Structure 1
Amino acid sequence: MYKREKSIQMKSSSSALYNNLSVLPIPHKKLTYFAAIHGSLVNLVSSSTDGLNLSHRQLQSKEGGSGHGSSLIMQASWCVLPSRTLLVLASQKGIQMYEPDGSIMVYWHAMDTPEAQTEAVFARGIAATGGHYITVGSSTGSILVFNIPAKGTNITVCEVLEEHRDPITEIANDCAGEKHCGADLVTADDSGLLCVWESGDDFKLLHKIPSYGVSCSSVRMWAGVIVGGYGNGEIQVYDAESGAMQVEVKAHARWISSLDIAPTTGKLVSGAEDSFVSVWILSRSPETNGIEMEHLHTECVTDIQMCGARFCDPEGSSFAVSGYDLSEIIRFVQV
C-alpha cells in the first residue's frame, strides 16, 4: 500500500505531454531532483528526502548555444552513465545537454530541417545506454547516438539509427543493467512499432516487435523484459530475447502517459489520462521462466490528467506523478 505525501510545488504547471516527469535520486546528498515541462520551460526542483526543503530552477529551451529564440520542449530526462550524469532536453529546435542541476549547458545539437520538409521536426525519446552513449529520437524516426566523454564538452554524434518510419515516442535502456541475448535498448514510435537493440561501437538491431495499430507512448526495459504502454490503455509485456508477447493487461480506461520500473525490485508504475496511477510487479516464473505481472496498488488523483509517473528510488518504495495544468508534483510513499 502507498499513501499520499506532501506535494512538491513547482513554479509553473506541467504541459500535456506524455512522459512529462523525470526523477533523479541522489542518495548520498539525501536529495531528489524532479523535472517537468511547461511549454518552452523546464521546471527543476531539488527536494530533500522529507520534501520540506525545496530549491527551484527554470531552464528555457534556446535556439543554439547563443541562446536566441525558444522552442517547445518535448521531453526532459536525466541520463545516468557510469562516468557522469547529464540532463537532456529534446525540443522542436534541437537537443541540449546540461550538468545534472541545470546550471551549465555542455552541448547543443540543432535538428536538421530540410527545405522540402512540410511538417515540424522535433526531438523526443531519451535514454543512456552502453556505458557511454546517449540516444535521442526524432520526429523523422531517426535515432541519434551521442558518444559521451567521461568529462568535458567533446560530445559527438557517432551513429544514426534508421529503422523507424514514424516519430519516435520513447526510448528505454535495460534499467537492471543486464544484457539478455545482448538486448539492452528498446525504441518505440507513434505507429506502435518497437525495435530491440544491442548497443556498442556498432548498434545492432536484434528484432522488431510489430505494431497492432495503436501508438506506444511509453516503454520500459528490465532484466530482459520489455513493457509497453499504449494509447488504448493496454500494457503489453514482451520477452526481449524472442520478442514474444507474454502478458497483455487492459490497465487503464484512457491513454497511458507514462511507465517506470524500479530496477532492484521489478515494480512497475503506470499513469494514464484516466486520472489513475497503478503499481504492479514483474517477475519470472521459476517453473517456466515465463514473465508474470501482478497488480499491487491503484490511486486515483481526481480530475487530473496524468502526464508523468516515476519511482523516486531504486526499490520502488515511493513514486511521484505530474498532471496537466497542475503546478505540483504529487508523491506517494509505501506504508
Structure 2
Amino acid sequence: MSYSETNMVKAQIKPSPSLIYNNLTLCGGDLLYAHIRQACAFPTSSLGSSVMAVRKIDSPHADVIHSIVACSHNAATFLVLATDAGLQIWDNTITHLTHVCPLPAAGASDVAPRNAYFARGITINVANNGAPHICFGTSGGAVYSLELSESSGKFKSSPVALPKHHKSPITAVGSAYQSRQGRWTEDLGCHLVSCDEDGGVAVWLAQHAGAGGYSLVNSIEPTGQPVVSVAVRRDLIVAARLDGAVQLYGLRDGKLRADIGGHSRFISAMDIHPTKDIITTVSEDCTLGIWALPIGGAKASCLLSVCWLHAMLTGVAFCGPTSDDVAVVAYDTDEVHVYRYST
C-alpha cells in the first residue's frame, strides 16, 4: 500500500485556479477551485481522461473568492465560498445558491487595515447542544458562526460574532468535524480552532451556536508565521505554517507536540484524510508531500514527495472512491495532477 510519483494521471482544466490558499476542495463527486470571482467544478469520475469539461458555476454575485470549502453534515453537503462580500452557500449539486450571508459590518476594531475587508477561512462545527453551524473568519480579525436549522434545512439569517480575540486578519479556521468531512467519530468534540496572520492560534468551545455560545479555551502565542491551513485530529491541532512547517499542538493545552519540516518554501495548501491520520501539503517549493502524522505512538513519515517543476501549487485535496487519491492544481496552469493510491 503506497503512493508513487509514477502512478499519476493528469488532465487539462480551464480556466486555471486563482492564487489563494487551499484552492481545491471535494464536494460530492466534484473537485472545485476558485477562478477569481467564479467557482469551477470538474467530476472526479473523469480524472483518467486527458481533457475534462470544467463547469463554471453561474452565480448572480460577482464577488472575489478568498476561500472555497465543502462542508458536510449528515447526508447534506454544502459548497461554501468566502468572498469580499460575505458567504455564498450552494447545495451539493452546485446548481442552487441556497443562502447568501452578507459580510457583517466591521465596526470598531483594533486590527490594522492591512487590506480590504473580506471573509476568509471556512469550517463546519457542531455545538455541545447538537446545533450544526458554519464558522468563518474575516480580514478584520473577527470570527462568526452561522447556525443551520436541521428542521428546515436552512441557515439562520444573521451570523453571530465570537468574542474578540485576534488582532490580525483571520487566515484559517478548522474543527474535528470538518476534518472528518462530517463523519461522526469518537474524537470529535465541539472545539473550533481559528488562526491569524501573526501566527496566533485560538481554541474555542461551542456550547451552542447562538450569541455567547462560544468561549475561549486556550490560545497559542503568535509566532510571526501565519497558519495557512488548520485541521483537528484526535485532540491535536494540525497547523500548516507559511514557513514550510507543519506543527502539531495539544488541543486542550496548546503545547507543541511535533514539528514536521515539510517544505523549504511557503506552504500554500493542506488537506487531511477523513479517516486516516495522514495529510497532504503543497508549497511554493513546487513539491507535493503526503505525510503520516505522529499520532498514537506512530512516527511521522513521508509517504510521497514529488516535484511539479515550475508550478506554483495552490490547491490539494484527497479524493477518489476511498478518499485515498490526491489531486493537486497550480496557479496559471491549465492542468490537474492526481496521484493514485495503490493497495
TM (norm. structure 2) is: 0.85
Counterpart of 1:59 (choices 43, 57, 60) is 57
Q: Per-residue CA shift, 1:165-215, capped at 9, x if unaligned? A: 211111111124557694532111111111112233112321101121111
Q: Which runs of 5+ in 2 are unaligned?
A: none
Distance change in 2, residues 1:200/1:269 (3 Å)? same
Counterpart of 2:195 (choices 181, 188, 191) is 188
Partner of 1:102: 94
Amino acid at match of 2:21: Y
Are 1:280 and 1:296, in contact at CA under 8 Å, matched by a contact in 2?
yes
Partner of 2:255: 244
Distance change in 2, residues 1:284/1:39 (3 Å)? closer
Q: Aligned partners of 1:17, 1:334: CA distance in 2, in Å?
A: 27
Partner of 1:168: 170
Q: CA deviation at 1:95?
A: 0.9
Q: Per-residue CA shift, 1:114-165, capped at 9, x if unaligned? A: 5999641100100111051111111111111011123444533352113222
Matched, 1:302 2:317: no
Are 2:230 and 2:237, in contact at CA under 8 Å, matched by a contact in 1?
yes
Distance change in 2, residues 1:57/1:103 (3 Å)? same
Counterpart of 2:269 (choices 235, 246, 258) is 258
TM (norm. structure 1) is: 0.87
Q: Aligned partners of 2:322, 2:237: CA distance in 1, in Å?
A: 19
Q: Aligned partners of 1:48, 1:112: CA distance in 2, in Å?
A: 38
SS in 2 for 1:6: strand
Distance change in 2, residues 1:125/1:60 (3 Å)? farther
Amino acid at match of 1:157: S
Amino acid at match of 1:160: A
Q: Per-residue CA shift, 1:227-256, capped at 9, x if unaligned? A: 111111111111212211011122111110
Matched, 1:132 2:132: yes
Distance change in 2, residues 1:198/1:313 (3 Å)? farther
Range with greater deviation from structure 2 (129-138 or 315-324): 315-324
Amino acid at match of 1:185: L
Q: CA deviation at 1:292?
A: 4.2
Partner of 2:72: 80
Q: CA deviation at 1:314?
A: 8.5
Q: Which runs of 5+ in 1 are unaligned?
A: 27-31, 64-69
Counterpart of 2:331 (choices 311, 324, 329) is 324
